[in-house]
């Protein structure tokens, strides 16, 4: 379990806030796995919501599926829908919104090795490929192909990465 809880520590080594958030997130996911743990550790689950969401201003629900090496820079105003799937080696910066278009809509699936700039909005039933860079201030409403750099509103391909 120690490896699971600390899997994001190395990529957040220079960012204490990111290290705290990812550790609390991983711990909360473990404690939220079954009903027995949920009942016993209810105070921790409440602490997580109050501290991470209200104090730090980050909505990272425990139902989010996130691969290893999740990196959070400047953890402010980060909003992730509970149904989002995040791959491995993903970087999230401040003021990002990842969610759905409507109350019952599907959420994005983010691939591996994705770098998401600040103030990015990613909404809808879309897939972001592997090895993608999304520039600051972009609005993503369509699928993004792998090995590419995107920017703009709406996000358009800037160039391919080899």
CATH placement of domain 2-160: 2.160.10.10
Strand partners, 91: 71, 115
pLDDT digits (tens, 9 = 90+) for 119-147: 999 999 999 999 999 999 999 999 999 99
**Which residue among 74, 94, 106, 127 is the active-site one?**
94
Helix (H) or strand (E) holding 45: helix 42-48
The H or E element spanning position 6 is none
At residue 88's C-alpha, the angle toward residues 130 and 59, to 5°, is 110
pLDDT per position as a tens digit, 86-132 = 999 999 999 999 999 877 789 999 999 999 999 999 999 999 999 99
Question: What is the DSSP secondary structure assignment for residue 147, as one 8-state letter?
Answer: S
| Sign of CA pseudo-dihedral 86, 88, 90, 95 | positive
Would residue 74 show up in a list of annotated catalytic residues for this protein?
Answer: no
pLDDT band, residue 1 (cuts 50/70/90): low
What pLDDT, on a 0 to 100 scale, did the predictor assign at position 6?
A: 86
- Strand-pair partners of 148: 132, 160
In this model, does residue 151 exceed pLDDT 90? Answer: yes
Instruction: Convert the pLDDT of each residue in 13-70 to its tens digit.
Output: 888 999 999 999 999 999 988 888 889 999 999 999 999 999 999 999 999 999 999 9
Domain boundaries, the chain: 2-160
């Amino acid at each position: 379990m120690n490896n699971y809880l600390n899997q994001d520590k190395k990529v957040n080594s220079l960012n204490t806030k990111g290290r705290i958030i990812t550790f609390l997130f991983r711990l909360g996911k473990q404690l939220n796995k079954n009903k027995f743990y949920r009942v016993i550790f209810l105070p921790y689950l409440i602490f997580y919501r109050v501290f991470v969401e209200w104090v730090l201003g980050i909505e990272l629900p425990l139902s989010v599926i996130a691969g290893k090496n999740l990196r959070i820079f400047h953890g402010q105003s980060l909003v992730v829908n509970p149904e989002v799937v995040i791959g491995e080696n993903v970087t999230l910066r401040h003021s990002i919104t990842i969610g759905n278009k409507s109350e019952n809509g599907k959420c994005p699936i983010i691939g591996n090795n994705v770098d998401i700039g600040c103030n990015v909005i990613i909404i809808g039933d879309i897939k972001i490929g592997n090895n993608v860079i999304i520039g600051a201030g972009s609005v993503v409403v369509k699928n993004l192909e792998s090995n590419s750099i995107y920017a703009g509103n709406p996000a358009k391909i800037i160039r391919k990465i080899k």
